[in-house]
């Protein structure tokens, strides 16, 4: 239950407000505005100009408050990221939900976070007025450190692929695979569809062994949606499809 609403005009003001107890950043509010019994004060980020999306060197920097739909429509994002966002949420939700809110709220079934994990996205975190740090998404989803996400940075000169299996074309996938390959040959494979966070199955100097890595990563991935036997076989098939797509 939202008990107080703040709309700061500056980042400094927002960070000051976020030092108060039971106070959380408000992105699109699609999750935070759901009914709960726990009282929370929210700090709306919409005036902080954190919704920009721009190239930065060889990277693409996405402001934390950029809506999923803005990223979806941008010609700067890779095609595979578009596919992952489409699976993440329907249009109305994509118009409100922000990239940072989706990372924070996302679990292992999130196609968007799975894609970001494969791309080795960097998360810029503002912990206080003087403490800003950038960490890899692998570390972020392991610890969910406190702090305000201000930006997400993605590599631009990479090849990407995303493949998913779901009950309907827009349902949250039961299994999904995201693969990113750098010019050097470095290949990262992330799996989603299961658990508390997506799983990094492979981060190698080449794509060799990706199918086996997918099988191994999901050998215990059983839940109410699918058995581990099913998921590990599908993960290997999706990894192969990703490899084919990157050729
Ligand atoms: C009816 C409905 C039910 C849903 N139920 C769930 C659910 O149970 N579980 C789930 O995972 N998703 C759920 N979702 C999906 C949710 O909408 C998405 O996860 C969405 O992408 C969240 O993005 P947002 O910008 O709206 O986040 P918000 O609702 O604004 O915030 C979500 C979380 O992220 C934090 N946050 C936001 N911005 C930042 C930032 N810049 N830095 C640090 N932290 C930040 C917030 O404090 C909050 O903890 C639901 C959506 C709908 C419409």
Find the 112 Cα to ligand 1 centroid distance in Å.
13
Q: Taking a C-beta distance cutoff of 8 angstroms, is the pair 174, 167 a contact?
A: yes
Cα 188 to Cα 16, 82, 129, 137, 233: the distances in Å are: 38, 18, 34, 13, 19
Parts of the chain belonging to CATH 3.30.390.50:
158-246
pLDDT of residue 170: 84
* Ligand 1: residue whose CA is nearest its atom 6: 31
Find the 76 Cα to ligand 1 centroid distance in Å.
24
pLDDT of residue 210: 97
Tell me 48's DSSP state: S
Q: Quick one: CA torsion of 113, 118, 119, 122, rounded to 10 degrees?
A: 60
Cα radius of gyration (the chain): 18
Domain 53-155 has CATH 3.40.47.10: no
Find the 2 Cα to ligand 1 centroid distance in Å.
14
Q: Taking a C-beta distance cutoff of 8 angstroms, is the pair 98, 85 a contact?
A: no
Domain 158-246 has CATH 3.30.420.40: no
Whole-angstrom distance, CA of residue 199 vs CA of residue 182: 19
Per-residue pLDDT tens listing for the chain (247 residues): 999 999 999 999 999 999 999 999 999 999 999 988 899 999 999 999 999 999 999 999 999 999 999 999 999 999 999 999 999 999 999 999 999 999 999 999 999 999 999 999 999 999 999 999 999 999 999 999 999 999 999 999 999 999 999 999 889 999 999 999 999 999 999 999 999 999 999 999 999 999 999 999 999 999 999 999 999 999 999 999 999 999 9
Q: Taking a C-beta distance cutoff of 8 angstroms, is the pair 14, 148 a contact?
A: yes
pLDDT of residue 169: 86
Parts of the chain belonging to CATH 3.30.465.10:
53-155
């Amino acid at each position: 239950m939202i008990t107080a609403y703040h709309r700061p005009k500056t980042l400094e003001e927002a960070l000051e407000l976020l030092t108060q107890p039971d106070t959380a950043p408000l992105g699109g509010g699609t999750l935070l505005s759901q009914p709960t019994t726990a009282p929370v004060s929210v700090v709306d980020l919409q005036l902080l100009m954190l919704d920009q999306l721009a190239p930065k060197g060889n990277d693409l920097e996405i402001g934390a408050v950029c809506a999923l739909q803005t990223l979806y429509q941008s010609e700067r994002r890779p095609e595979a990221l578009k596919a992952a966002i489409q699976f993440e949420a329907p249009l109305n939700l994509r118009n409100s939900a922000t990239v940072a809110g989706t990372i924070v709220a996302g679990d292992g079934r999130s196609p968007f976070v799975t894609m970001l994990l494969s791309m080795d996205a960097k998360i810029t975190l503002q912990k206080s007025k003087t403490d800003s740090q950038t960490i890899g998404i692998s570390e972020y989803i392991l610890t969910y450190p406190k702090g305000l996400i201000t930006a997400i940075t993605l590599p631009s000169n990479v090849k990407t692929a995303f493949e998913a299996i779901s009950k309907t074309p827009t349902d949250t996938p039961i299994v999904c695979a995201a693969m990113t390959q750098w010019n050097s040959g470095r290949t990262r494979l992330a799996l989603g569809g299961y658990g508390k966070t997506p799983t990094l199955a492979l981060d190698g100097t080449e794509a060799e062994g990706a199918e086996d890595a997918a099988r191994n990563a999901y050998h215990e991935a059983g839940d109410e949606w699918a058995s581990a036997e099913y998921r590990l076989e599908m993960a290997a098939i999706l990894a192969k499809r990703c490899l084919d797509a990157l050729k």
